[in-house]
Amino acid sequence: RLKPFNRLQVILQHLKMSKQTDSTAEVLLEKRGGVGVITLNRPKALNALNLPMIRQIYPQIKTWEQDPETFLIIIKGTGGKAFCAGGDIRAITDAGKVGDRLPQDFFREEYILNNAIGTCKKPYVALIDGITMGGGVGLSVHGRFRVATERTLFAMPETAIGLFPDVGGGYFLPRLPGKIGYYLALTGFRLKGRDVLKAGIATHFVESEKLPALEKDLVALKSPSTENIADLLNSYQMKSKVDQEKGFVLDEHMEKINSLFSANSMEEIVKKLKQDGSPFAIKQLEAISKMSPTSLKMTLRQLREGASMNLQDVLTMEYRLSQACMRGHDFYEGVRAVLIDKDQSPRWKPAALEEVSDEFVDDCFKPLGNNDLKL
């Protein structure tokens, strides 16, 4: 028989686990065989990431990483619509307006979590079924495996709300083929389904109805290695016929994307787009003209610098940028226009690219002394 103390421990452990598998919890954490499973469980909010969720996921990843009985970590979302549509931006703006600490804590702890995923010693499989944007990209793209489905909708739309493609965007975007990453970051263009794989964001493509079977097979792997997991994912991908024949959505535009988005400044990109004058270029000009000029300049520099930095240095840089956005005007105005009043007419300050000075942008990148992100 268990000694009284041990019995209490077992009961407490059981209560802790059952509390977390309670369907009202925002994150469900469970162990299935040798597999740790993280389920984002805010379907009504499209599984948007908030600070309490970050504070549950981070220590759990760290625990599983150290646990010799855990061989693999899976992360997924509930509700069928979204893996994770982003961070809880509304809460951050509300807090930022009243000088609350949340904007410091949220970005700091979110980036620490992104880094934990990027450095995780255990294979990490993100099932990015449905909407995967912003903060949801940060929870998946730095992991070893990212499985897209025909329902995946990927975007980094931050420049439209006066922010920048953070969560390590400065690391993975410039490393995508050609200038795709710059294009996605500046225009907020959305990739769907198999195109998420073709752009190099996902590592695999599997039909969404096959995900439960895939998960079961992953759990059934005995002490799996990265190779075993890759083989299993490959075998599922081979069987996925959806949109197999279709070419990559950006194929016909790649030459233009690579030349137009390789310019050294936003003004030059706009000039090149105007000179090009093709329907594609005009469409990009329209998209860019809606974005925060400050965000565009910040983002272009973030990607150009991030291209030669490691993930830790990128996240440190992005934390500085996040705090600059919290001090500024455009983030609050962008959230108002897109998420609160939904009038889609943000009044940016400054309103034109030419009015965003290099000195101002330089200032956004300056170290924060004791407040810098420490990884």
List domains and CATH numbers for the chain. 25-371 (3.90.226.10)
d(CA 193, CA 177): 18
Residues 63 and 27: beta-carbon distance below 8 Å: no
Distances in Å between the alpha carbon of 351 and those of 42, 287, 292, 348? 36, 15, 8, 5
| Half-sphere exposure at residue 141, Cβ-oriented, CA atoms within 13 angstroms | 29
104 — pLDDT class (breaks 50, 70, 90): very high
Using DSSP, state whether 146 is helix, strand or coil.
Answer: strand
> Tokens 């730095």 — which residue?
142
Residues 72 and 218: beta-carbon distance below 8 Å: yes
* Mean pLDDT calculated for residue range 321-337: 97
> Tokens 């703006």 — which residue?
93
pLDDT score for 244: 82
Please state which of the ranges 42-51, 68-77, 92-101, 163-172 shows the lowest mean pLDDT: 92-101
- Assess whether pLDDT exceeds 80 at residue 8: no
Where are the extended beta strands (E) located within the chain?
Answer: 27-32, 35-40, 72-77, 82-84, 124-128, 131-133, 145-148, 153-155, 191-192, 204-205
- Assess whether pLDDT exceeds 80 at residue 145: yes
246 — pLDDT class (breaks 50, 70, 90): confident
4 — pLDDT class (breaks 50, 70, 90): low
As annotated, the active-site residues are 87, 135, 158, 166
d(CA 200, CA 169): 13
10 — pLDDT class (breaks 50, 70, 90): low
367 — pLDDT class (breaks 50, 70, 90): very high
Q: What is the pLDDT of residues 248-269, one digit of tens each?
A: 999 999 999 999 999 999 999 9
- Assess whether pLDDT exceeds 70 at residue 74: yes
- Assess whether pLDDT exceeds 70 at residue 115: yes
* Mean pLDDT calculated for residue range 334-347: 95
Distances in Å between the alpha carbon of 348 and those of 267, 295, 318, 354, 355? 17, 10, 21, 13, 11
Q: What is the pLDDT of residues 12-67, one digit of tens each?
A: 665 555 455 566 899 999 999 999 999 999 999 999 999 999 999 999 999 999 99
> What is the enclosing helix (H) or strand (E) of 299?
helix 293-306
CA-nearest of 114, 102, 44 to 75 is 114
> What is the enclosing helix (H) or strand (E) of 230?
helix 226-239
pLDDT score for 241: 87
Q: What is the pLDDT of residues 188-221, one digit of tens each?
A: 999 999 999 999 999 999 999 999 999 999 999 9
242 — pLDDT class (breaks 50, 70, 90): confident
* Mean pLDDT calculated for residue range 336-357: 96
Please state which of the ranges 2-16, 118-132, 134-148, 322-336 shows the lowest mean pLDDT: 2-16
337 — pLDDT class (breaks 50, 70, 90): very high
pLDDT score for 245: 83
pLDDT score for 1: 53
- The fraction of the chain above a pLDDT of 70, given in percent, is 94
Question: Counting beta carbons within 10 angstroms of the beta carbon of residue 178, is it exposed (0 to 12), middle (13 to 18) or buried (19 or more)?
Answer: middle
11 — pLDDT class (breaks 50, 70, 90): low
pLDDT score for 24: 83
